[in-house]
Structure 1
Amino acid sequence: MAKISGTSTSEYARLGDLLSETLDSGKDVGASVSVTVEGETVVDIWGGWADEAQTTPWGRDTITNVWSTTKTMTFLSTLVLAERGLLDYHEKVSTYWPEFAQNGKADIEVRHLMGHTSGVSAWEQPVAVEDIYDWEKSTAMLAAQAPWWTPGEGSGYHALNQGHLLGEVIRRVDGRMLGQFFAEEIAGPLDADFHIGLDPSEFDRVSNVIPPPALAIDMATMDPDSVLIKTFTGPAPDATESWTPEWRQATIGAANGHGNARSVARIQAIVANGGTVDGVELLSPDTIKMIFEEQANGVDQVLGLPVRFGMGYALHSIAVPYLPEGNYAYWGGWGGSSIIVDIDRKITFAYVMNRMDEGLLGDTRGIDLATEVFKH
C-alpha cells in the first residue's frame, strides 16, 4: 500500500487507508487530507507524489492550486469585514463601489455577489485570461457590463469572477487587495499556509495540477448566448494556465488559491468552531449565522445541478446526500478539492490533491473521504 505520512487519531484512522487506496489505484497521484474537531487538528495526512512523473514525493509543506475552494477564503474575508461592521451583505454593491451601478446594476446587493445571483457570472466578450490578471482593467470591465438575468432570481455560478467582484468590494471598504487582506487578517494570525497570490519564493513547493479529462460537454452544439456558455467561455483558462507565474501571482479570489488540506481545514475551522481557533477570534456566532441565509435553492443555470446557496458557501441539500442532516457549509474546486464545515459538531474536513478528475465540483475521492468523516 502507498505510504501515508502525518498523524491521525484512531477514530479517523480509516482515512489513511482510503487515501492509500486511491494512490495505489492511480485515482490520486499526490494528495492531503485534514480534519479538525473543535478547532484542533485530529487528521493531518498526505501521500503520493508532487509531480505526474512521480519523481518528487508530496511532502508536509507541498501546496497546489485548489481552484474554487479558494472561494471559501474570499467568503471568510467578507465575513471578517461584516463582523467589524464595515460591510453589510444587504447593502447595494454601488454603495461601496459606485462604478458598479452602470448598465442596470444599481440595485444589486452584496448578497447577490455572495450567492451567485447577481446576473454577472463572468466577463462579457471579448475577454482573455490575461485580462483577469490586470485588476483595474478586469474590475472595470465587470462594472461596465449588464447582468445576464434578473438579479436575485436564481443562481448562475460565478465560476471565475466572484473573487474579483467581492475582492473589489473588499478593496473599496478596506483599502487592501483581497490577497493582502486575507494574508494579514486571516492566514497570518492563524499561521495557515494558504495564499491568494503566491510569492515566487514559494514556487518550488508547488505541485502543478494534473489536468482532467475533457468535459463531456459539446459546447459547439449549445446556445452561445446561454448563461452556461457565456460563463464558461468568459474567459476559459486551461488547467495548465495555473502552472504559469502570472496565474500564481495574480489575485483571483475565485480560483488561484494555493494551499493544502491542513491550511484549508485550519482556516475554515474558524467557521466551524464559533469564530475562534487557538485564541484567534475573527467571528461571532451571530456573524456565522449569516452564512445560512439562503440566497438560492434550485438548479443552477451554469452548473446544471441543484444547489442551495447561502451567503457564499453552499448549504446542506439534496446535492450532498452523503452528509447526514445538519448545518453544513461547503464548497469544492474544479477537479476534486473540497472543504466541508459542520457547524453543529464543530468539524471541518478538507481534501486537496493534484490529479484533477473531470468533475467540476468534487468527485468520488472526496465524497468517500467525507462520508467516512461524517458517519461518526
Structure 2
Amino acid sequence: MAEIHGTCSDRFSGVRDVLSQYLDSGADIGASAAVFVEGEPVVDIWGGFADPDFTKPWERDTITHVFSLTKTMTAISALVLIDRGELDPDAPVARYWPEFAQNGKEDVLVRHVLGHTSGVAGWSEPLSVEDLCDLEKSTAMLARQAPWWKPGTALGYHAFSTGHMVNALTSRITGRTLGQFFAEEICAPLGPDADFHIGTGPECDDRISPLIMGNPAADPSQHNDLARMALFNPLITPVISRTVPWRRAEIGGANGHGNARAAALIQSVVANGGEVGGVRLLSEKTCALAVQEQGSGMDLIMDAPLSWGMGYCTGSPLLEQLFGPRIVGHRIAFWGGGGGSMVVADLDARMTVAYVMNRWLAGSFDARSCGIVQAAYEAIG
C-alpha cells in the first residue's frame, strides 16, 4: 500500500484512505490533501512521487502548479482590499483603472469582474503565451477591447482575464502587483505553511513537482466560439506550466503553485469567519460576500449551470452529485484547477478541504478531488 505521510485525526481517516487508494491504483502519482476545521488542521497528508520517473518522493514542502485553483487566492486578495475599504465592489472598474473605460466598458463594475459577468472573459485579439505572461501588454489589450456581452447580464467564466483585471486593480490601489500583495498581506501573516505563490521565484524551482499529463488535453474545436477565445487563447498545457517564464509570471487566473496544506490554510480564512490562528484578515461580513450571488445560470464559456459569488463558485445543480448530499444547504465557496486540484470552503461547517496533485487529467470537476471532499463530509456527518 502507498505510504501516506503527515497527520490525520482518526475522525478523518477516510480522507487518508481515499488518498492511499488513489496512489495505489495509479490514479495519482504524487498528491496532498488537507482539511481544516474552525481554522485548525485535522488532515495534512501527502504521498507518492514528485517526478514522472518515480524517483523523487513528494515531500512536506513539495508544491505544484494548480491552474485555476489560483482564482481563489486572487479572490481572497480582492476581499482583503474590500474589507479595508480600498476597493468598492459596486464601483466601476474605471474608477481605479481609467484606461479600462473604453469600448463600452465604462459601466463594468468590480463585482462583475469577480462574479464572471463583466463580458471581458478573455482576449478578442490573438494572444501568445509570451503575451499572456507580459502583464503590461496583455492587460492593455483588455483595456482597449469591447466586452463580449452587456456587462452584468450573463455569466461566462473568465479563465485568465479575471487575474489580469484584479492585478490591474490591486497595483493601482496599492502600488504592488497581485502576487506581491498576496504574498505580503495574506501569506506572510498566516506563516510559513501558507506556502502558495502567484508567480514563483527561482528559490522554489527545486521543490516544484511538474504536472504529468495523464490524458490528452482538450480539443478546442469541440467548444463554442466564446469558449475557444476564453479557454484556448492562448492554449496552455501542463508542458507550458513547467517553463520558467510561466512560473515567474503573476497570472492570477491560472499560474499559482502550492500544496493542499497551503490552499486549505489560506481559504480557511473565508470558512472560519475571517480569522485563523489569531490572525484576522477579513470580517465575518466580508466573508459572506464570497458567497453572495453575482451571477447564476448557464455559463456561456463552461456550457454548464453555475453560480458565482465574489470570486468563488458558490453552487451548481451538480453540487450534490459532486460532493455528496451532506453539502446541500451549506454556504460553499469553491473552485478547482484544470487537471484536478480543488479547494472547498464551507462557511457553515467552518471546514476547508483541499486536494493538490501532479497527475493532470483533462476535464472539469475531477472525480479524485470530489472523492476527497466527500470523505471529509462523511467524517463530520
Q: TM-score, normalised by structure 2?
A: 0.95
* Residue-by-residue CA offset, 1:260-300 (whole Å, 9 max, x unaligned): 00000000111111111111111001111111221111111
Paired with 1:57 and 1:106, the residues of 2 have a C-alpha distance of 51
Structure 2: give runs of 5+ residues left out of the alignment.
none
Equivalent residue, structure 1, for 2:344: 340
Identify which range, 292-301 or 250-259, moves more after superposition. 292-301
Distance change >3 Å, CA 243–CA 218, structure 1 → 2: closer
Equivalent residues of 1:275, 1:281 under 8 A apart:
yes
Identify which range, 179-188 or 120-129, moves more after superposition. 120-129
Paired with 1:238 and 1:277, the residues of 2 have a C-alpha distance of 35
Equivalent residues of 1:316, 1:325 under 8 A apart:
no
Give the counterpart letter for 2:261 in structure 1.
R
Equivalent residue, structure 2, for 1:7: 7
Tell me the number of residue pairs that the alignment of Structure 1 and Structure 2 aligns: 372
1:218, distance to aligned residue in structure 2 (A): 5.8
1:216, distance to aligned residue in structure 2 (A): 5.7
Equivalent residues of 1:121, 1:231 under 8 A apart:
yes
Distance change >3 Å, CA 286–CA 161, structure 1 → 2: same
The residue correspondences of 1:185-334 to structure 2 (distance < 5 A) are 185-191=185-191, 192-215=194-217, 217=219, 219=221, 226-321=225-320, 322=324, 323-334=327-338
Distance change >3 Å, CA 241–CA 318, structure 1 → 2: same
Structure 1: give runs of 5+ residues left out of the alignment.
none
Paired with 2:341 and 2:232, the residues of 1 have a C-alpha distance of 22
Give the counterpart letter for 1:324 in structure 2.
V
Paired with 1:135 and 1:89, the residues of 2 have a C-alpha distance of 23
Q: Is 1:369 aligned to 2:368, yes or no?
A: no
1:215, distance to aligned residue in structure 2 (A): 4.8
Paired with 2:172 and 2:214, the residues of 1 have a C-alpha distance of 37
Q: Is 1:150 aligned to 2:150, yes or no?
A: yes
Paired with 2:243 and 2:20, the residues of 1 have a C-alpha distance of 30
Paired with 1:222 and 1:186, the residues of 2 have a C-alpha distance of 36
* Residue-by-residue CA offset, 1:26-53 (whole Å, 9 max, x unaligned): 1100000000011000100000000111
Distance change >3 Å, CA 284–CA 229, structure 1 → 2: same
Q: What is the SS of the residue equivalent to 1:204?
A: helix
User: What's the Cα RMSD here?
Assistant: 1.2
Paired with 1:157 and 1:282, the residues of 2 have a C-alpha distance of 27
* Residue-by-residue CA offset, 1:242-276 (whole Å, 9 max, x unaligned): 10110111010011111000000000111111111
The residue correspondences of 1:69-218 to structure 2 (distance < 5 A) are 69-191=69-191, 192-215=194-217, 217=219
* Residue-by-residue CA offset, 1:205-251 (whole Å, 9 max, x unaligned): 000011242356460x666xx21121123211222111011011101
1:133, distance to aligned residue in structure 2 (A): 1.4
Give the counterpart letter for 1:201 in structure 2.
E
Give the counterpart letter for 2:102 in structure 1.
Q
Q: TM-score, normalised by structure 1?
A: 0.96
Paired with 2:219 and 2:238, the residues of 1 have a C-alpha distance of 16
Paired with 2:360 and 2:232, the residues of 1 have a C-alpha distance of 20
Paired with 2:370 and 2:150, the residues of 1 have a C-alpha distance of 34
Q: Which runs of at least 4 in structure 1 moved beyond 3 Å after TM superposition?
A: 215-218
How many percent of aligned residue pairs carry the same amino acid? 50
Give the counterpart letter for 1:363 in structure 2.
D
Paired with 1:95 and 1:271, the residues of 2 have a C-alpha distance of 27
Paired with 1:358 and 1:119, the residues of 2 have a C-alpha distance of 25
Give the counterpart letter for 1:165 in structure 2.
M
Paired with 1:218 and 1:284, the residues of 2 have a C-alpha distance of 41
Paired with 2:120 and 2:216, the residues of 1 have a C-alpha distance of 26
Q: What is the SS of the residue equivalent to 2:71?
A: helix
The residue correspondences of 1:36-47 to structure 2 (distance < 5 A) are 36-47=36-47
1:319, distance to aligned residue in structure 2 (A): 2.5
Equivalent residues of 1:122, 1:235 under 8 A apart:
no
1:351, distance to aligned residue in structure 2 (A): 0.2
Give the counterpart letter for 1:326 in structure 2.
H
Give the counterpart letter for 2:332 in structure 1.
Y
Give the counterpart letter for 1:248 in structure 2.
R
1:135, distance to aligned residue in structure 2 (A): 1.5
Paired with 2:257 and 2:227, the residues of 1 have a C-alpha distance of 26
* Residue-by-residue CA offset, 1:137-177 (whole Å, 9 max, x unaligned): 11101101111111111211111121101111111111100
Give the counterpart letter for 2:373 in structure 1.
A
Give the counterpart letter for 2:366 in structure 1.
D
Paired with 1:158 and 1:239, the residues of 2 have a C-alpha distance of 19
Identify which range, 291-300 or 98-107, moves more after superposition. 291-300
Identify which range, 310-319 or 182-191, moves more after superposition. 310-319
Paired with 1:165 and 1:352, the residues of 2 have a C-alpha distance of 26
* Residue-by-residue CA offset, 1:340-361 (whole Å, 9 max, x unaligned): 001011100000000011223x
Q: What is the SS of the residue equivalent to 2:108?
A: coil
Give the counterpart letter for 2:208 in structure 1.
V
1:180, distance to aligned residue in structure 2 (A): 0.4
* Residue-by-residue CA offset, 1:320-341 (whole Å, 9 max, x unaligned): 1123321111100001100000
Equivalent residues of 1:75, 1:114 under 8 A apart:
yes
Give the counterpart letter for 2:205 in structure 1.
F
1:318, distance to aligned residue in structure 2 (A): 1.4
Paired with 2:213 and 2:223, the residues of 1 have a C-alpha distance of 24
